[in-house]
Amino acid sequence: MPYGKLYIVSTPIGNLEDITLRAIRILKEVDVIAAEDTRHSRKLLNHYGITKPMISYWSEKEKVRSEEMIEKLRSGLSIAIISDAGTPGISDPGAVLIKRAIDEGIDVVPIPGPSAAIAALSASGLSTEEFTFIGFLPPKTAQRQKRLNELALEPRTLIFYEALHRILDTLSDMKEIFAERNAVLAKEITKMHEEILRGTISEILDSLENRTIAGEYVIIVEGMKRENVQIDIALDEIRALMRKGKGRKEAVKIVAEAYGLSKKELYDKSLEG
Per residue in 111-147, pLDDT tens? Answer: 999 999 999 999 999 999 999 999 999 999 999 999 9
Is the pLDDT reported for residue 212 higher than 70? yes
**125, 221 contact by CB (below 8 A):** no
**95, 67 contact by CB (below 8 A):** no
Greatest alpha-carbon pair distance for the chain in Å reads 70
The average pLDDT across 166-193 equals 94
Residue 203 pLDDT: 96
Composition of the chain by helix, strand, coil, percent to 5: 45, 20, 35
Residue 256 pLDDT: 85
Average pLDDT of the chain to the nearest whole number: 91
Distances in Å between the Cα of 267 and the Cα atoms of 57, 64, 244, 254 are 52, 53, 18, 11
Is the pLDDT reported for residue 220 higher than 80? yes
**222, 121 contact by CB (below 8 A):** no
Distance of CA 242 to the CA centre of its chain: 29
This prediction has a pTM of: 0.80
Run of H or E residues at 40: helix 38-47
Residue 89 pLDDT: 92
Is the pLDDT reported for residue 171 higher than 60? yes
The average pLDDT across 84-88 equals 94
Reported as a pLDDT band with limits 50, 70 and 90, residue 226 is low
Residue 267 pLDDT: 87
Reported as a pLDDT band with limits 50, 70 and 90, residue 83 is very high
Kindly give the residue spans of alpha helices, DSSP state H, lying in 87-230: 95-103, 116-122, 141-150, 167-178, 201-207
**What residues are paired with 200 via a beta bridge?**
182
Run of H or E residues at 55: strand 54-56
Quote the CA–CA distance of 269 and 273 in Å, as a whole number. Answer: 7
